[in-house]
Amino acid sequence: MAHKRYTDGYMMYHCSECDKWVQVYLEESLEKRTTDSKPVPFVIRCPFCGKPDCRDEGFHRFPMPRQKLTKRMFAFWDVEGDSCGKPMNKEAAVPLVKRKEVYCG
């Protein structure tokens, strides 16, 4: 039986190359700021243009109601043996059209 994964939060990443925003869901065990929680990368490869310039702009975990992670969700998974969350399902990423001020405060 496959391991079921759940999320209860996400982080916002912005690509300085193509200027697109993306919401990346977090598996429950990531970025909780506890001793047994793993971090996620500050910079990832942009799922839209492929450049390694997609950055976590707010260093903030946004809470959300708990739900099951699916393959239709661009997310960081907690993979055994990795020191931080691993980006999964990049092909499911959808660019957000929100303005920068909404996410950076």
Read off the pLDDT of residues 17-44 as tens digits, 9 standing for 90 and up. 999 999 999 999 898 777 778 889 999 9
pTM: 0.83
- Position 63 scores a pLDDT of 92
pLDDT score, position 34: 72
pLDDT, position 102: 47
Q: Which whole number is the average pLDDT over 46-67?
A: 90
What is the per-residue pLDDT across 38-51, written as a single tens digit (0 to 9) for each?
889 999 999 999 99
CA 93 to chain centre: 10
Tokens of 42: 């500050």
Instruction: State the amino acid at position 79 in one-letter form.
Output: V
From residue 99, how far is each of 19, 22, 79, 95, 105 by CA, in Å? 10, 12, 32, 12, 11
* CA distance linking residue 75 with residue 92, whole number of Å: 9
